[in-house]
Each structure stands twice: as structure tokens, then as C-alpha cells.
Chains A and B, each alone.
Chain A
């Protein structure tokens, strides 16, 4: 009997934020998590000369089969906005921020309150039938990890909660890879940041625990909000 061929599934995520928030790191963590869980993934970051507060984008492809494409994702079906100023101040390589978003795509925005869009933006987002989710990622990072540096963890957790890929366990494994274990090379700048975080937490283990709290919190938040795309939502590990 011929084996049923599973249709190709593909999530193309465009992440946008500002320098220092860990956007590139987040893309490595999500992508690595997908690979750990047995899926296929690739990523590419996009930034200018590295500096704080400058626009940063990073692109992650997630699939259940081999991925050939490389480079920027021009037509994403998922957008992750790490900072409201990407939208309100236009701190982005892509203007307006939803350019190229496919029909019925998901926009995850780090903001406690809805962003006031212009009438044109509002109309275009409605035409695209975009689903806009607001996640208080910075507040979660401050509450649970006592530092806004964990904002990217909340964003990663939310992706796991929404798509179930990477699953929560693989995501936790990926974060561990980033800070201990094999290590993930993101950029020279992150090495300096690492030592800054390490001083704050004294021990990497504590850093991991704090990050895990934020991941779990964000996963739970997406489940509570009913954003999950999978029949069986990812379970929080807490």
C-alpha cells in the first residue's frame, strides 16, 4: 500500500525588533528548537552595523520537510514584533511592518495594550485578515525573570504555544544549548552581553531557570488566550 505523503507545511516567520533585545538570539533558539524536535528549520538574521536600538530583523523558516530557500522572508505568514517602536516609530527594515504578510497571517506583538494603527494600516490589515495577538512580553520578563532581557524568551515561548513547533521540551533544550552545552554562535556582540547577564545572575543555572519561567509563562499565556493552532496545545513544563 502506498504510504500517504504528508503535505508540506511551512511557517515563515519574520521577527522585527531593536538592537539589544535578542531578536537574532530568539531566532536561533526557535530554529534550533525545531531541529531538536525533529523538524526542519533554517534562519537568517538581517541587521546593519551592530548597535543598540537600531532596527534588527531575523527570519526563521519552519517545515516538516527539507527547506531549500535561504535569505530574507519577503512573504511571511507569521510576524513577531519585539518592540512597539518597530510599528510606532518605524524602526524597521520593512515599512509598513506587515508588508508581504500572507493572507490570514499571524502578527504577534510585544505590547500590553493594542497599538493605535493609522486608518490605512487598519484597512490593509483587515484586507489581509491578519490575526493580531498582543503579548506583554517585556512585563512577563520583568515579572518572572526580573529583567527585561528575557523579553525574547517570552516571544519564543509564545511561538511554541501557538504552533506547538518547537514543542516546549525542545525549546527548553534549545535555550540550554544557547547558554551552556554546545553553545550557539550568534554574533561577537552577544558574547559581551552574555558576560553582563552572567554577572547579574552569578550563575548560568539561575539564568536558565529564570528563562524557563518566562518560556513557561508565555506558553501558558497563549493557551489561556486560545491562540494555539494545534489541536493539542503544547504543555507548559512548569
Chain B
């Protein structure tokens, strides 16, 4: 069993070309209870980019192995991960051949029982989708950072979060970070939730590329001498792969791999269990993040429901409306999977008008919200506003839509 307690470090000062008394950074940290890290430790405010926020998150995450293939806008975060490797905060790190290789390899790492991190952006995510969609069924806790980027032709490197819609039904835990602060907090919470015995699933924290990764904002961080406890590979819904007694069994359960009648039943129950595990993760996210949603101005007639960067734009719209004496509510959705059905319903059940601003053409969040509110509320749900292809949604656009909405729905 390789590195089950997650603390054995194979790197020596000599290997690394460091002074003889070099101690890996991770070895100098103290593991603390996640609840203490999230809610009790003092925090210092830094003014850093989203990529640097990801670095500070990884520094405290007790990562055993990171594997990635560079793609804009993810590259800068994983360049930062390289520094962490050099400093000894990440124990192993390499650049894989491309994304299918990356995501297959990280799956193997997770099966061996160690805390595994990868990261990608739009087209890279799409390239690796085959491997990614195999993760949940393999019950591999993996943390993936996804810096959203346009996937359609014409080629662009700008943020557009349509790629998130492709992961909605994979069984992966999905969080959507609003800003640099979330990109620091969410990966730590996602790691802890994903490694719970009754969850044992991969988690992806998405963030809108550039607007967050390459932009600076305030980030409150806990002291760097504290890290999360290591992953315990044995504490898992399925056993970790035994690397010391070959041949290592690659398949989770041999009969499932056979195309006979029994396997259909096994496969369907296996899938049911994966999606039930997604729902079970909600209680951990409530603990670690305080809640699955944030509600501003409860009880308002007009509500904005949003995730990711759209929340920031909506906050400014709410502020400007407030200056004019108009109360507008806001629901920030932190977890897309598990989807906070009841929390959203509770927040908007008396709202007259619901606006759903999004940074993609398809309006996947609109569809999600409609599906949970259909037949349960009387409020009119507006199909927009949306920007895509990398565009920013100006606050002015949300305000104009609100104004029109009020004329349409009295």
C-alpha cells in the first residue's frame, strides 16, 4: 500500500539538489482538523490573483501527487504548483503527455490511496472527458481545478463556462467559485467532502478563467504552517488498490466488466449508489462551507439566482438597486452537484421575478433552476441574461433586464 498515511516523503535533499538540511515544506506543517482550518484559524488578507489563491489552497491541502497538462488559463496555477513541488509542499508532480493521459494517471494515483490533484481548462477538459467520466464509478476521490474557457470554434482562450454542463451528469461533485476567495476555500472543502467514506467521489472546483485566475482580489488565508490531515486511503467506500501484492486488480469489481445479464443490474445499482453519494456529500459541504447557497436580501420580490462570476456582477447590481431604494434578492449557488434544490426553493418561493444571469450560451443553470422550481412556485423565471464566448456581463446589462422584467411582469 503506497503511502496510505500520506506522510512518507521519498524526496531527499540530495535528490533535489538542496542543502543537506533541507526539509520539505509539507513536513514543517502541522495537520489540523478541517473544521478548525475552515472556521477557527486566524486569517490574513492577501491581495493576489486567482492562480495564486489556488497555490495557497494547494499549499495547505497536503497534496500527495499532482499531474497536469498545461492549457491556458490553467497553466499559471499549475506553474505555481511547480513552485510548491520545489518547496516540498506537493510530494510528486509531473506533466503528463496530454489530457487523456493526465486524467487516467490521476485516477490511478487516487486508486492507490493518495490525495491527487489535477487541473485543466475547457478544451483540455473535453479531451479528457472519457477518463473524467470514469472517475465517479471508480470511486476515486480526486480534486480537479477547472479554469473555464471557451470550447467551441472559433478558438478562444476566454472564459465561458459551457464546459461545466458536460459534467453535470457524470456523478462528479461540482463547485462553482465566484472569486479568488472561493478558489482558495472551495478546493479544501471539496477535498474533505470527497474523501468521506459515504462519499468517495471526485470533485471539481470550476472558476471562470482570467476573470478570476488572472485577476487580483482580496483573499483571506489561514497560516501556512497548518495543513489538512492526510488522506487515509483505507477510509473509503471501496478499498484502495494494493500495490504491494501484484497483480494489482485494475477493475473495481470483475463481474461488472462482463456483458451478461447480471452485470446490467450490478451496473445500475452501482450508478444509483454513485448519485446517492453525490447527495450524501451535501451535509459535508454544509459543514465546511456553512451552506450550499448564500442568500442576500431574503424575501425580496425580485431575485437573481447565479453561480460563479455572475454572482459578483449580480452583487453590484443588487448594490446599485439598493442605492435607488429597490430591494433585489440574490441566491449564490456554491455547489452545482449536489444541487441545492430545497435551499433555492426556500429562498425564492415568494419571489415574483427570477433572473438567471449566466456566462454561457446554453443556460444550463437556468434549466437546473427551472427543473427544481417547476410546479412549486408562481414566480416567473427569466431565460437570461447571458453572455458567452468570453465576454463579460456588465452590471448595466443585469439592471436593464431587471427594468424590462418589471414592465413585463407587474
Q: A44-B211, A68-B319 are in contact. List 16 more A-B contacts (CB 8 A).
A: A31-B216, A41-B216, A43-B216, A45-B210, A68-B313, A69-B316, A70-B217, A70-B309, A72-B391, A73-B392, A74-B392, A74-B394, A74-B396, A185-B48, A185-B76, A188-B75
Binding site for A on B (CB under 8 A): 47-49, 51-52, 72, 75-76, 79-80, 157-158, 179, 208, 210-212, 214-218, 309, 312-313, 315-316, 319, 391-396
Pull 27 A–B residue pairs with CB atoms less than 8 Å apart, ordered by A. Answer: A32-B216, A35-B218, A42-B215, A42-B216, A43-B215, A44-B215, A45-B214, A48-B157, A49-B157, A68-B312, A68-B313, A68-B319, A69-B313, A69-B316, A70-B179, A70-B217, A70-B309, A70-B313, A70-B392, A71-B211, A71-B309, A72-B392, A74-B394, A75-B394, A185-B48, A185-B49, A187-B214
Q: How many residues of A contact B (CB 8 A)?
A: 23
B-side contacts of A32, CB under 8 Å: 47, 216
On whether A187 and B210 interact (CB within 8 A), knowing A31-B216, A68-B315, A70-B179, the answer reads no
Q: Is A91 an interface residue (CB 8 A)?
A: no
Any B CB within 8 A of the CB of A176 = no
CA distance A35 to B217 in the complex (A): 10
Chain B residues near A49 (CB-CB < 8 A): 72, 157
Interface string of A177-204 (1 = CB under 8 A from B): 0000000010110000000000000000
Instruction: Confirm or deny: A117 has a beta carbon within 8 angstroms of a beta carbon on chain B.
Output: no
Kindly state the separation between the CA atoms of A230 and B181 in the bound complex, as whole angstroms.
Answer: 33
Q: Which of A48, A69, A185 has a CB less than 8 Å from the CB of B395?
A: A69
Residue of B nearest to A31 (CB): B216
Cα of A32 to Cα of B215 in the assembled complex, Å: 11
The A24-43 residues at the B interface (CB cut-off 8 A) are: 28, 31-32, 35, 41-43
Contacting residues, chain A, for B157 (C-beta < 8 A):
48-49
Cα of A43 to Cα of B395 in the assembled complex, Å: 16
User: Chain A's nearest CB lies how many Å from the CB of B375?
Assistant: 33
B-chain residues with CB within 8 Å of residue A35 when the two chains form the complex: 47, 218
Q: Report the bound CA distance from A146 to B217 in whole Å.
A: 34
Instruction: For residue A144, give the distance in angstroms from its CB to the closest CB of chain B.
Output: 28
- Is chain B's binding surface mostly helix, strand, loop or mixed? mixed
Q: Which 8 A-B pairs have the closest CB atoms?
A: A71-B392, A68-B315, A44-B215, A72-B392, A74-B394, A68-B316, A71-B211, A35-B47
Nearest-CB residue, chain A, relative to B359: A71
- Candidates A31, A44, A48, A75; contact of B214 at CB < 8 Å: A44
Binary contact readout A68-102 vs B (1 if CB under 8 angstroms, 0 otherwise):
11111111000000000000000000000000000
Contacts of A43 in B (CB 8 A): 215-216
Across the interface, name the chain A residue whose C-beta is closest to B55: A185
How far, in whole Å, are A69 and B49 apart by their CA atoms in the complex? 15
Judging by beta carbons under 8 Å apart, are B51 and A185 in contact? yes
Interface string of A108-150 (1 = CB under 8 A from B): 0000000000000000000000000000000000000000000
Give Cα A68–Cα B314 distance, bound, in whole angstroms.
Answer: 8
For A188, list chain B residues within 8 Å (CB): 75-76, 79
Q: Which residues of A contact B80 (CB under 8 A)?
A: 185
A150 to chain B, nearest CB (A): 22
How far does the alpha carbon of A38 sit from the alpha carbon of B208 in the complex, in Å? 27
Contacts of A31 in B (CB 8 A): 47, 216
B218: chain A residues within 8 A (beta carbon): 35
Name the distance in Å between A178's Cβ and chain B's nearest Cβ: 12
A27 to chain B: closest residue by CB: B216
Partner of A28 from B75, B208, B210, B216 at Cβ < 8 Å: B216
A185 touching B52 in the complex, CB below 8 Å, given contacts A71-B313, A71-B392: yes
CA distance A185 to B395 in the complex (A): 28
B residues within 8 A CB of A46? 158, 210
**How far does the Cβ of B297 sit from chain A's closest Cβ, in whole Å?**
14
Q: Which residue of A lies closest to B319 (CB)?
A: A68
A164 to B334, CA, bound (A): 38
Q: A44 and B210: CB pair below 8 A?
A: yes
Closest to B80 in A: A185
- Which residues of chain A have C-beta atoms less than 8 A from B392's C-beta? 70-74
A6 to chain B, nearest CB (A): 13
For B208, what are the chain A residues with a Cβ–Cβ distance below 8 Å? Answer: 70
* CB pair A187 B76 closer than 8 Å: yes
Across-interface contacts of B391 in A (CB, < 8 A): 72
A49 CA / B149 CA spacing, docked (Å): 13
When the two chains form the complex, which single residue of A45, A69, A70 contacts B212, counting CB atoms closer than 8 Å? A70
B318 to chain A, nearest CB (A): 8
Which A residues are in CB contact (< 8 Å) with B315? 68-69
